[in-house]
Amino acid sequence: MNRKENQRIRLTKTLLKSSLMDRMASKPVSKITIKEICENAGINRSTFYLYYKDQFELLNEVESELLHLAEQHLKKIDSNENNLHYLKELLGYIKDNSAHFRILLCHPESLSFQTRFVDISIRNLKHNISLNCPEPISDYVFRYLTIGCLSMITKWMESDFDLPVEELTRLIFGLSDSALAIFDKPGERLNSID
């Protein structure tokens, strides 16, 4: 396949993805027809079927692309560096792609994307940050941090980005750092609760 064909395919897929996201702003993917997607994109249905089986496969590709790029930011976060910069990059990426993230993170019918986002976040945190506690405890800690951060990001989007990226970065980092501080000292695993 030559370069011109590759560009045409990429453009076609981009138009279809944008069309799907436009439609999802007003109704769930299960109620969106291929005909609607194609008419909105200005593309024939036969062209759609060259690349996708249905609207769910198209949505899966949109989700996978967003998650892949988000994961590139998450992979940079570890326990040995000042992660403010990397967290700021991730939040900037989410804000820059807010049209898609709002639909996929803020709508209840997008539970699949939310679950995948949480799972990828937890996997990367567990891989890059070591806690001074046994694995069952660390699983809960990483889930707590991830769900809390995701909730803050969702609130931020729903509030039309009422905080600057830098301020939300400091807030998330400060709260997360405080939550992780309890595991900094060996042997002091939540003893104050006893």
Which of the four pLDDT bands, split at 50, 70 and 90, describes residue 193?
very low
Domains within the chain, CATH numbers bracketed: 1-52 (1.10.10), 62-193 (no CATH)
**Terminal CA-CA length for the chain:** 66
- Rounded to whole angstroms, the Cα distance separating 175 from 177 reads 5
How many other CB atoms are found less than 10 A from the CB of residue 108? 7
Sign for the CA dihedral angle at 175, 178, 184, 188 comes to negative
Q: Is residue 100 scored above 50 in pLDDT?
A: yes
Q: Is residue 119 scored above 80 in pLDDT?
A: yes
Averaged pLDDT for residues 89-115: 89
Which of the four pLDDT bands, split at 50, 70 and 90, describes residue 128?
confident
Which of the four pLDDT bands, split at 50, 70 and 90, describes residue 58?
very high
Which of the four pLDDT bands, split at 50, 70 and 90, describes residue 13?
very high
User: In this structure, are residues 95 and 161 in contact, taking their beta carbons and an 8 Å threshold?
Assistant: yes
